[in-house]
Amino acid sequence: MQNIIIASTSTVHGSGYLAYILDELASFYKDTEEILFIPYARPGGITHDAYTAVAGKAFEKIGKTVRGIHEFENPIAAIADAKGIFTGGGNTFLLVSQLYKHEVMQPLREAILNGTNYLGTSAGSNICGLTMQTTNDMPIIYPPSFKTLGVIPFNINPHYLDPIEGSTHMGETRETRIKEFHKFNTLPVVGIREGSWIRVKGDQITLEGAHTARVFEHDKTPYEIPTGSKITFS
Amino acid sequence: MQNIIIASTSTVHGSGYLAYILDELASFYKDTEEILFIPYARPGGITHDAYTAVAGKAFEKIGKTVRGIHEFENPIAAIADAKGIFTGGGNTFLLVSQLYKHEVMQPLREAILNGTNYLGTSAGSNICGLTMQTTNDMPIIYPPSFKTLGVIPFNINPHYLDPIEGSTHMGETRETRIKEFHKFNTLPVVGIREGSWIRVKGDQITLEGAHTARVFEHDKTPYEIPTGSKITFS
């Protein structure tokens, strides 16, 4: 049974790394003491070691140890052996490039489909969708493909942002960008605001956390769903 | 001699399409009555015809006619024959995909290097750099490469945006994104604010328009340059 948390962000403004979701994670990871961390997205170019230490410090508070996938000689075996996995945020283009380079995209997909508990934040959430094409990140590296894990039947837009009222900036709003995506792709997109997450338990997919989410279906007017909603597309 | 205008945006808030730069364009395109328009980036998925009509309406005010590249049976010949070219904004991933698909990336580069007057706005400016890797756009389509025209020795970040003071949003600022780019790439990046443009005349590259620009060099602290500055990197 799939067991996934797909979070908009690792950190909400004014609180520590993962602090807003730590109670949830204590229960989510209750059957494992060690979590395999995938630091490939490395925000701001932080090292794998430094990033793993950040995750480790947060999980220490709920009695878990964290090991970075880069510490293992065989990352494929590390994924197969893990009882809990966490992929942190950063740059999605970099994350996807690294997952392909280390040949772990498919093993990670299989582990999640086989029931290994998986937490993603930001870029680590983006890759749960069928493609990374609704990321907000800058294409700092050319990945061999935009295809990602596909462990949910839609795409994610993390850090979802409403148009800023009174803005004079002429760059596209998030909603406009997702509409452009839908000119060439029919996949639904769920925009998750910071402080919210999607919980997958087998076939049940639910919105959790502080905010409504904005849903974009091909050729439909976007709409809001309240927290607690089941997410289904017919 | 290269003759290029690389503009942050087609439109500044509260005025019409190209209105803020139309006087400059009247002088820039003084030797041609017809402008070849490349509508491939099509913002919001607008059709090539509709987008070309938008450009045509603006250029009518300075007595120019506009023809879309999609109207020509042979787009390569259309580029070679043009005396003035304009590539509009929209989605850079789409624009680059289409330039490769129609095999006009190299012919366009050659035309510009041979002195054909070229105006780019937004996505059409992004492609002037060596790569499209400092675009702000969503990867709605997978291009065969991120390499672009390379008619200037640096990359462009159009619609450059300062961090929003007091923002509680945890998504990366533009500056953070460009810093991440510099973890993997050494090319300088010039962030152009809306209402400003870069003017290339042969070897001379100058910042023009309303605002300072922000310059990001690898391993250096970002800095501002005033309008009228020469842009050189040693």
d(CA A38, CA A26): 19
| pLDDT tens column, A147-179 | 999 999 999 999 999 888 788 887 888 999 999
* H helices, E strands: number in chain B: 7, 11
User: B3-225: what CATH class?
Assistant: alpha beta
Interface mutation vs chain B, best among A51, A147, A172, most B CBs within 10 Å: A172
3-state secondary structure of B133: coil
Distances (CA, A) of A105 to A82, A92, A124: 15, 13, 12
According to DSSP, the residues that pair with A147 across neighbouring strands are: A131
Residues in chain B with CB shorter than 8 Å from the CB of A40 are: none
Q: How are beta strands B117-121 and B3-7 bridged, if at all? A: parallel
A3-163+189-215: CATH, from 3.30.70.260, 3.40.50.720, 3.40.50.2000, 3.40.50.880: 3.40.50.880
pLDDT cut 90: percent of chain B above it: 91
Residues in chain B with CB shorter than 8 Å from the CB of A183 are: 44-45, 140
Q: Which helix (H) or strand (E) holds B177?
A: helix B174-184
Please check the confidence at residue B136 and state whether its pLDDT lies above 90: yes
Exposure string of B137-176, with b = 16+ CB inside 10 Å and e = fewer, is bbbbbbbeebbbbbbbebbbbbbbbeeeeeeeebbbebbb
Q: Which residues of A are catalytic?
A: 122, 137, 159
ipTM over 0.85: yes
| pLDDT tens column, A54-90 | 999 999 999 999 999 999 999 999 999 999 999 999 9
Chain B: give the shortest CA distance to residue A32, in Å.
29
Residue B76 structure tokens: 């390569």
| pLDDT tens column, B86-121 | 999 999 999 999 999 999 999 999 999 999 999 999
Non-local (6+) Cβ contacts of B87 within 8 A are B37, B38, B40, B41, B95, B118, B119, B120, B121, B123, B124, B127
Q: Vertex A128, ends A17 and B178: CA angle to 5°?
A: 60
Provide the CA A1 distance to its chain's centre, in angstroms: 19
d(CA A125, CA A89): 8
| pLDDT tens column, A113-134 | 999 999 999 999 999 999 999 9
Q: For residue B138, give the nearest of A145, A168, A181 by CB distance.
A: A181
Distances (CA, A) of A66 to A25, A54, A55: 13, 10, 7
